[in-house]
Structure 1
């Protein structure tokens, strides 16, 4: 009989938690019991959750076979003093929903450290336009006179509101499906002028930084002429970042103490099935993360879930629990980036103010999805406020997953369909709630991460004027002792 325990030796801060798994071969009963070798070395739950002690040191987690208590395995855990810096909270506001979701006058800037206005896009991308141009994508939120003060645009009103609250305002450039637009706008003949136009726009509207949402086509593109290879696509991305940095350095707006332009970029979690040798991400991903000031993981929705292709049903933005058939979570991705040279303090976690669901034959996590015909991931259709209004939160049964550190709702007996909606039935709904947000705040602090992004703060505003998820973020991330 052989007992194995994983993950292998690693470190975590004092009073942090980490999930362990045991693998027993040579016995029918593959269960393990858990213990910590050292006295006062922390505690283990029956589910394999290690709770580190308050004192730094090296301790050993032990897994013992239930079938043969003489067979066991252990792994070393180095417990360190945690980083205590206040985390960032970077929240996206979608200007094109400013008249229907979260009125500008009600936006609580004190719940954020960085306010991101969405959006503009590269010409030739999802909003068309000429390659190399900055294309407006915030609907009429760019138009003067439509803000609550009757003078400014909604965009400029919100930038001033952020500044009045002592917060930074960032411009969202790009988004999903803008990869071709970025590639067309960053040819050697266009790129420097494109960077200049972006920074011109930032200065004109008094932005403090740029959120560069280049999310796709890093593998290249056959959909534009001439074809762009993966190597060339990556070269263009790094060259654009360099040109933006150079353009920032030339502008008086970004000179002086506390005025340097901030550059952020949303990235992806990584599958444990696709890691490089040594449990690393591809080097270009690490280099990209290190080239910006915040590298925030879009761990919500399809960032951590999938339907079919060998996946079991899984959660939006789980902290722990990745396996070969649920291969993405926050912690394994953070560790992979760190092994590749990315400081933890540069990485942010993702919090989605919307849900995803699987069909009625799936009523919880870790279930076979190969024959599941329903997999709904539309963030607009499943924004938190609409889920509340349509009864998703008042039907089904709420569960908490101790391993993944997220909650979910289960709708057995044919699933749940909001009355008159015509929607597909939901069997398993994954979403953020105040408990999972609190867990992420603890994880960010304990793991020494930079902070979190929210997509999107519009989605949380309820008809009674409350924002329960944003309120939970404010309480847990921006207080000294969550």
Structure 2
């Protein structure tokens, strides 16, 4: 079976959808819809001249055109995202779970999606400022069961093979502590592992945010491989896991002369798209590219600003890892960060090559 190549596409970024090389994708997750009053509704238009309804209809037509170029492409609506609220209340009772599931069916049928990707960040955890309950752990499973049942029933009514149900999942123990991961996996077609942001917008030291393996300067830190091994140890099969890749970099200023591993100035964190990195930062001549052969990722440094990012070399390594470990495939956040397709091309080619 061919490896999954899944792209997330942000609602708030301008994008010519017809330029997306859908021939190289198996799945496209449009992000995001939101939970409002217990139902899944459009997030909002990136075009202020259009109503949400008109925007969604326009988007639906554009997405259908993509499927003309790749009839096997699966289109999913991703619901939630960082700081998106409403999940805990929607999952709290049989009635509320049924309400959300019914709204999901209405949404995907109205806009002609092939399934739902649930991005609750995170069940049982209020780190993003969202409502959380201890009961989220069990309620998340029950919510997914309600969605699975409604999706299966709708597919049967329409005499189609299936509707997909996936989740975007945290890549650390904190996530597994808040969910019943084996029961969750039973309801899902696959799990999108967010194996990035290990050093994030709160980091005060220079470190890799999407390293494949642990780095020598931080041997106890997170890594993509550590996340995969953690899920496997908790009973998840490798063919259920989709490895995440970021198409953006994380930065920190005020970093000491040693660069990687050095302390930086708190609250100077930033982000750069891969497009900005290759068209602005690298051509400026200010930054030197370094390669961490142990962690299998690059980083940039100009003597003050440290930038952790992915490039075609590291992305290809992620694809090779997927093949070596029998994972379902790879996904990336998000498409508009690299309209040159350099990263997607590297990922696609690495997944096509036989090991």
User: The residue matched to 2:319 in structure 1 has which SS?
Assistant: helix
Shift of 1:97: 1.4
User: Matched residues in 2 for 1:475 and 1:450: separation?
Assistant: 16
User: Matched residues in 2 for 1:254 and 1:115: separation?
Assistant: 24
* Counterpart pick for 2:164 among 257, 262, 274: 262
For structure 2, the residue ranges without an aligned partner over 5 or more in a row are: none
2:281 counterpart of 1:391 = yes
Match of 1:442 in 2: 320
Shift of 1:222: 12
| 1:204–1:408 CA distance, 2 compared to 1 (3 A) | same
Match of 1:470 in 2: 344
Alpha carbons 1:315, 1:365 under 8 Å: kept: no
Alpha carbons 1:317, 1:329 under 8 Å: kept: yes
2:252 counterpart of 1:361 = no
Shift of 1:303: 6.6
Match of 1:90 in 2: 6
User: Matched residues in 2 for 1:222 and 1:435: separation?
Assistant: 32
User: Matched residues in 2 for 1:443 and 1:315: separation?
Assistant: 18
Shift of 1:403: 0.6
| 1:393–1:270 CA distance, 2 compared to 1 (3 A) | farther
Larger Rg: 1
* Counterpart pick for 1:338 among 232, 236, 239: 232
Shift of 1:285: 3.5
Q: Give the structure-2-normalised TM-score.
A: 0.86
Alpha carbons 1:307, 1:313 under 8 Å: kept: yes
User: The residue matched to 1:357 in structure 2 has which SS?
Assistant: strand
2:213 counterpart of 1:320 = yes
Match of 2:140 in 1: 237
Greater Cα shift, 391-400 or 357-366: 357-366
User: Matched residues in 1 for 2:90 and 2:179: separation?
Assistant: 24
Match of 2:23 in 1: 110
Alpha carbons 2:88, 2:133 under 8 Å: kept: no
Q: How many residues align?
A: 348
Alpha-carbon RMSD: 3.1
After superposition, what is the alpha-carbon deviation per residue over 1:273-316, rounded to whole angstroms, capped at 9, x for unaligned? x89xxxx97772344344312112112224778624xxx53212
For structure 1, the residue ranges without an aligned partner over 5 or more in a row are: 1-84, 124-130, 416-425
Greater helix fraction, Structure 1 or Structure 2: 2
Alpha carbons 1:203, 1:253 under 8 Å: kept: no
1:178-257 aligned at under 5 Å gives the runs 178=84, 180-188=85-93, 189-219=95-125, 229-230=133-134, 232-252=135-155, 256=159
| 1:281–1:480 CA distance, 2 compared to 1 (3 A) | farther
User: Matched residues in 2 for 1:363 and 1:261: separation?
Assistant: 52
User: The residue matched to 2:222 in structure 1 has which SS?
Assistant: coil
Shift of 1:372: 3.1
Shift of 1:163: 5.2
User: Matched residues in 1 for 2:341 and 2:169: separation?
Assistant: 26
User: Matched residues in 2 for 1:249 and 1:163: separation?
Assistant: 25
After superposition, what is the alpha-carbon deviation per residue over 1:37-72, rounded to whole angstroms, capped at 9, x for unaligned? xxxxxxxxxxxxxxxxxxxxxxxxxxxxxxxxxxxx
Shift of 1:456: 0.4
| 1:210–1:365 CA distance, 2 compared to 1 (3 A) | farther
1:399-414 aligned at under 5 Å gives the runs 399-412=290-303
Q: Give the structure-1-normalised TM-score.
A: 0.65
Shift of 1:446: 0.6
